Amino acid sequence: MAGPIRIAVIGLGKIAHDQHLPAIAANPAFQLAATASTHGEGVGGLPRFATLDEMLASGVAVDAVALCTPPQVRYQLAAQAIAAGKHVFLEKPPGATLGEVAILDAQRQAAGVTLFASWHSRYAAGVGPARDWLAEREIRSASIVWREDVRVWHPGQAWIWEPGGLGVFDPGINALSIATYILPHPFFVERSVLSIPANRAAPIAADLSFRDVAGAAIRMDLDWRQTGPQSWDISVDTDRGTLRLEKGGTVLTLPGEAPRIAEDREYPELYARFAALIDAGTSDVDIAPMRLVADAFLCGDRRIVEAFSEP
């Protein structure tokens, strides 16, 4: 399209301030045009609205919206934006249910706009090279260990413990977005054990077993009760040695090589991808990571554990 893409950010929480706003400001393909949020202040004197309704009714010129709200309210906002002819960037996960994402995909096709279900961890520096290396290898097994302290990374986020908030799968789906991208064969849930605090609706930990269509076993260990060193690591055993992705995909170690370490450019790469999709008139709505999470809940053995509270 001619000129920069005029974009509005909907939901001004931590992720918007930490990642979306800086990435938009650094990309000349975009121009921040407005914000909408039920709390907080506006940005740089730009139009600020309490709701998407108010923004659309105001007539402010906007070509696209980035939805940074909790997933439980994202469908209605996305459907409203699509109906108004706006391109839509969905923060991960793309929705609270698979059904609503499928409906949004159909709606965007009818409206002729771009819909981008973003998976930021796929844009970590080591992920693309890992995918290329694994494409020519026989996968024997894989291990995913995603252990972090919820009090450090998600303080005061009550929505994350509610139905649709995913609990420990909020970070865990990042690992699955990487695994579904780098592993050469599709895989499915064989076993799921969900540890749910007595006073919460979503799990604080999960132990999962997957198997790919070629027979390789994949184990996943998710835990929000980790203190001390945090772990965001994937290892893949192959016929040519073991590949390791650490620190969420930013550090890649191939057999016989020194670790490759690169700076974080996940959100700048996401916005470059969004601009390219809009320019090409196409969309990217991959639900593979979300489908695995849904299956983990569907067949999960739910075990009640100690209640969780914050200071």
Q: Is residue 311 part of a domain?
A: no
Question: Are residue 17 and residue 106 in the same domain, yes or no?
Answer: yes
Question: Are residue 113 and residue 127 in the same domain, yes or no?
Answer: no
Which long-range contacts does 35-38 make (Cβ < 8 Å, 24+ apart)?
Answer: 35/8, 35/9, 35/10, 36/8, 36/9, 36/10, 36/11, 37/10, 37/11, 37/12, 37/13
Q: Is residue 277 part of a domain?
A: no
Q: What is the CATH number of the domain that holds 140?
A: 3.30.360.10
Q: What percent of the chain has pLDDT over 90?
A: 93
* CA dist list (Å): 51 to 65, 72, 91: 12, 16, 17
User: What pLDDT sits at residue 263?
Assistant: 83
DSSP the chain: --S-EEEEEE--SHHIIIIIHHHHHT-TTEEEEEEE-SSS--STT--EESSHHHHHHHT---SEEEE-S-GGGHHHHHHHHHHTT-EEEEPSSS-SSHHHHHHHHHHHHHHT--EEE--GGGGSTTHHHHHHHHTTS-EEEEEEEEE-BHHHHSTT-GGGGSTTS-TTHHHHHHHHHHHHHHSSS-EEEEEEEEEEETT-SS-SEEEEEEEETTS-EEEEEEESB--SS-EEEEEEEETTEEEEEEGGGTEEE-TTSPPEE----HHHHHHHHHHHHHHHT--B---HHHHHHHHHHHT-EEEEE------
Q: Is residue 179 part of a domain?
A: yes
Task: Work out the pLDDT band at 3, boundaries 50, 70, 90.
Answer: confident
Residue 235 in this model has a pLDDT that exceeds 80: yes
**In the predicted model, what is the mean pLDDT of residues 43-48?**
88
Q: Which of 86, 101, 117 is the last residue of a domain?
A: 117
Q: What is the CATH number of the domain that holds 54?
A: 3.40.50.720
**In the predicted model, what is the mean pLDDT of residues 82-108?**
97
**In the predicted model, what is the mean pLDDT of residues 266-276?**
97
Question: Are residue 33 and residue 111 in the same domain, yes or no?
Answer: yes
Q: Is residue 289 part of a domain?
A: no
Q: Is residue 286 part of a domain?
A: no
Question: Are residue 91 and residue 138 in the same domain, yes or no?
Answer: no
User: What pLDDT sits at residue 310?
Assistant: 87
Q: Is residue 228 part of a domain?
A: yes
**In the predicted model, what is the mean pLDDT of residues 200-212?**
98
**In the predicted model, what is the mean pLDDT of residues 199-221?**
98
Task: Work out the pLDDT band at 34, boundaries 50, 70, 90.
Answer: very high
Residue 25 in this model has a pLDDT that exceeds 70: yes
Question: Are residue 158 and residue 301 in the same domain, yes or no?
Answer: yes
**In the predicted model, what is the mean pLDDT of residues 176-202?**
98
Task: Work out the pLDDT band at 45, boundaries 50, 70, 90.
Answer: confident
Question: Are residue 96 and residue 154 in the same domain, yes or no?
Answer: no
Question: Are residue 47 and residue 179 in the same domain, yes or no?
Answer: no
Single-letter amino acid, residue 45: G
Residue 41 in this model has a pLDDT that exceeds 80: no
Average pLDDT, the chain: 95
User: What pLDDT sits at residue 1?
Assistant: 62
Question: Are residue 14 and residue 144 in the same domain, yes or no?
Answer: no
pLDDT tens digits along 144-175: 999 999 999 999 899 999 999 999 999 999 99
Q: Tell me which residue range forms the domain holding 13.
A: 5-117
How many independent structural domains does the chain possess?
A: 2
Task: Work out the pLDDT band at 311, boundaries 50, 70, 90.
Answer: confident
User: What pLDDT sits at residue 127?
Assistant: 97
Question: Are residue 143 and residue 64 in the same domain, yes or no?
Answer: no
Kindly give, in sequence order, each residue whose CB lies less than 8 Å from that of residue 160, ignoring residues fewer than 6 positions away: 70, 154, 166, 167, 170, 202
Residue 132 in this model has a pLDDT that exceeds 90: yes
Instruction: Check 14, 86, 92, 247 and give the catalytic one.
Output: 92
Give the pTM. Answer: 0.94
pLDDT tens digits along 242-259: 999 999 999 999 999 999
Q: Is residue 197 part of a domain?
A: yes
Question: Are residue 154 and residue 249 in the same domain, yes or no?
Answer: yes
Is 14 among the catalytic positions?
no
Residue 40 in this model has a pLDDT that exceeds 80: no
Which residue's structure tokens are 């407005």? 34
